[in-house]
């Protein structure tokens, strides 16, 4: 197992995390190449080998070392901004390997993607479709499009990451999508390839996915009955992981992947199927390595103050999310308390009312499941420089894959 105790000290693929802290300082994200390879291999076998296209939703983690690794397994990339396009391009993804999602795209972003002949746009509204049609006309291009359909299915996850309900800002209702697809000739610069749905994130009960498959089977049947045949169905991402058991294999934490692929293939076999997972590929691949600055008590509250913060992992503050805390030095003693960062917000807690090792000032600890929506959501709030990222390669050596942001880089933006 990549993150495990050896001689009572937490290691990653044979490397003692203390050596990483000494070399790169703390807080630092530490990734395991072997876990990343394992994850992408699981997705390849479950989906690519069954004929699916898989585009990695790079918002989950946009480090180019990770993008490069996934590209080698045949994954494309799902982008949501010009910045993500630039990073994908830097890594070597070609236009056809890129699709562009997101609820609001600027003219500059549409033009960039049109000029780059990307695989397709996932279009979320009529205003976006009209704008894309007019930009494609100006640039003398034809844009390949999937319409994002909002199926009004409850993904049974946190409200902030539920995207497939009618009240959410994402996608278009079925009647609008039906209308557009049955009036496609009004858009001479658009090639309507199909439909995209993404109902939410961190979905651990697969039933909503199966409901989505049935929904799409009916909806495409309805389209077919009026002579509209599409080719491409993108079922989105959202595969959940187990944050309580962060060092488990994804076949254990997300056991329905193969069943999902089989059911989709059986019920939607006439279509090119596509998924765009993020979290499941990266969440368990990293920890945030951090040092205890001190212990304090307010009344009967016990606080472990660390040098990592919500600026490194915002998920607990944003979604009340659970991330497992582990001591570098295995210990038996425990105390109930909060692990908090130095940021001037009461929400700056990485764990609350948790049974914690009996930490002392100077101890090292890790916050697990730091591979997804951690560094990519990082910020410089309180003028804290972005933390570095280190990958433990499968040979057991450490490689810096993002430097710590320097103070000059951070304050140099201010003119």
Percentages helix, strand, coil for the chain, rounded to the nearest 5? 35, 25, 40
- Tokens (6 digits) for 99: 């699709």
251-310 residues near ligand PLP, rule: CB under 6 A: 276-280
Contact between 57 and ligand PLP per CB under 6 A: yes
Q: Minimum distance between the CB of residue 238 and ligand PLP, rounded to whole angstroms? A: 4
CB closer to ligand PLP out of 250 and 317: 250
Summary count for the chain: helices (H), strands (E): 13, 20
Query: Residue 164: CA atoms inside 13 Å, Cβ hemisphere, count?
Result: 25
CA distances from 396 to 39, 40, 101, 167, 290 (A): 18, 19, 37, 48, 21
Q: Minimum distance between the CB of residue 170 and ligand PLP, rounded to whole angstroms? A: 7
Q: Between the CA atoms of 354, 314, 294 and 286, what dihedral angle is there, to the nearest 10 degrees?
A: 80
- Tokens (6 digits) for 26: 């703390």
365 Cα distance to chain centroid: 24
The binder of ligand PLP chosen from 119, 155, 194, 236 (CB under 6 A)? 236
Q: Kindly report the number of other CB atoms within 10 A of residue 222's CB atom.
A: 11
E strand spans, 33-116: 53-57, 76-79, 98-100
Quick note: the x/- pattern for ligand PLP over 99-128, rule CB under 6 A, is --x---------------------------
- Report cis status (omega within 30 of 0) of the bond before 27: yes
Q: Where are the alpha helices (DSSP H) in 96-201?
A: 107-115, 126-138, 174-182
Residues in binding contact with ligand PLP, number by CB under 6 A: 16
Contact between 239 and ligand PLP per CB under 6 A: yes
Helix, strand or coil, per DSSP, at residue 385: coil
Q: Which stretch binds ligand PLP (CB under 6 A): 84-92, 129-137, 175-183, 234-242?
A: 234-242
Return the bridge partners of 303, or none. Answer: 296, 338
Q: Minimum distance between the CB of residue 199 and ligand PLP, rounded to whole angstroms? A: 10
Sign, CA dihedral 41-277-315-320, equals negative
159-178 residues near ligand PLP, rule: CB under 6 A: none
Contact between 243 and ligand PLP per CB under 6 A: no
CB closer to ligand PLP out of 198 and 402: 198
The binder of ligand PLP chosen from 76, 206, 238, 341 (CB under 6 A)? 238
| Rounded CA separation 279/257 (Å) | 13
Contact between 371 and ligand PLP per CB under 6 A: no
CB closer to ligand PLP out of 34 and 202: 202
Q: Minimum distance between the CB of residue 406 and ligand PLP, rounded to whole angstroms? A: 30
Q: Minimum distance between the CB of residue 316 and ligand PLP, rounded to whole angstroms? A: 17
Q: Minimum distance between the CB of residue 388 and ligand PLP, rounded to whole angstroms? A: 23
CB closer to ligand PLP out of 197 and 305: 197
Contact criterion met (CB below 8 Å) for 98 and 57: no
Return the bridge partners of 377, or none. Answer: none
CB closer to ligand PLP out of 150 and 276: 276
Residues 175, 221, 298, 344: which is the catalytic one?
344
Q: Which stretch binds ligand PLP (CB under 6 A): 29-37, 108-116, 198-206, 403-411?
A: 198-206
The binder of ligand PLP chosen from 237, 246, 337, 371 (CB under 6 A)? 237
CA distances from 59 to 66, 77, 139, 371 (A): 12, 10, 28, 11
Q: Minimum distance between the CB of residue 127 and ligand PLP, rounded to whole angstroms? A: 18
CB closer to ligand PLP out of 280 and 304: 280
CB closer to ligand PLP out of 3 and 209: 209
- Mark whether 12 is an active-site residue: no
| Rounded CA separation 158/330 (Å) | 33
210-229 residues near ligand PLP, rule: CB under 6 A: none
Q: Which stretch binds ligand PLP (CB under 6 A): 91-99, 219-227, 235-243, 347-355?
A: 235-243
Contact residues toward ligand PLP (CB under 6 A) are: 57, 60, 78, 101, 198, 201-202, 236-239, 276-280
**Residues classed as catalytic:** 344
């Amino acid at each position: 197992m990549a993150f495990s105790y050896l001689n009572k000290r937490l290691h990653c693929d044979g490397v003692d995390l203390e050596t990483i802290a000494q070399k790169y300082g703390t807080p630092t994200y530490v990734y395991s190449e072997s876990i990343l390879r394992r994850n992408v291999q699981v997705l390849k076998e479950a989906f690519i080998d069954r004929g699916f296209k898989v585009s990695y939703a790079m918002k989950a983690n946009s480090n180019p070392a990770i993008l490069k690794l996934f590209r080698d397994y045949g994954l494309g990339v799902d982008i949501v901004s010009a910045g993500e396009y630039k990073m994908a391009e830097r890594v070597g993804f070609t236009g056809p390997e890129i699709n562009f999602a997101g609820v609001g795209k600027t003219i500059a972003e549409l033009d960039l993607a049109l000029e780059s002949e990307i695989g397709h746009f996932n279009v979320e509204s009529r205003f976006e479709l009209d704008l894309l049609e007019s930009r494609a006309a100006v640039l003398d291009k034809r844009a390949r499009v999937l319409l994002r359909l909002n199926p009004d299915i409850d993904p049974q996850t946190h409200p902030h990451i539920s995207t497939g309900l009618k009240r959410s800002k994402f996608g278009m209702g079925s009647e609008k999508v039906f209308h557009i697809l049955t009036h496609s000739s009004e858009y001479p610069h658009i090639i309507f390839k199909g439909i995209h749905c993404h109902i939410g994130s961190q979905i651990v009960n697969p039933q909503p996915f199966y409901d989505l498959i049935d929904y799409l089977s009916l909806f495409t049947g309805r389209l077919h009955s009026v002579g509209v045949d599409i080719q491409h169905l993108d079922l989105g991402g959202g595969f959940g992981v187990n944050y309580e058991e962060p060092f488990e294999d994804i076949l254990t934490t997300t056991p329905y992947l193969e069943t999902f692929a089989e059911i989709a293939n059986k019920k939607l076999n006439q279509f090119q199927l596509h998924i765009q997972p993020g979290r499941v590929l990266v969440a368990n691949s990293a920890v945030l390595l951090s040092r205890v600055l001190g212990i304090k008590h307010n009344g009967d509250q016990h606080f472990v103050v660390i040098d990592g913060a919500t600026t490194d992992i915002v998920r607990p503050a944003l979604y009340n999310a659970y991330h497992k805390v582990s001591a570098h030095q295995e210990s038996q003693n425990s105390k109930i308390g909060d692990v908090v960062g130095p940021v001037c917000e009461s929400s700056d807690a990485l764990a609350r009312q948790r049974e914690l090792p009996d930490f002392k000032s100077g101890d090292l600890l890790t916050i697990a499941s730091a591979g997804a929506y951690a560094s990519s959501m990082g910020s410089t709030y309180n003028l804290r420089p972005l933390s570095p990222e280190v990958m433990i390669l499968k040979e057991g050596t450490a490689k810096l894959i993002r430097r710590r942001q320097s103070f000059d880089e951070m304050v140099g933006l201010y003119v």
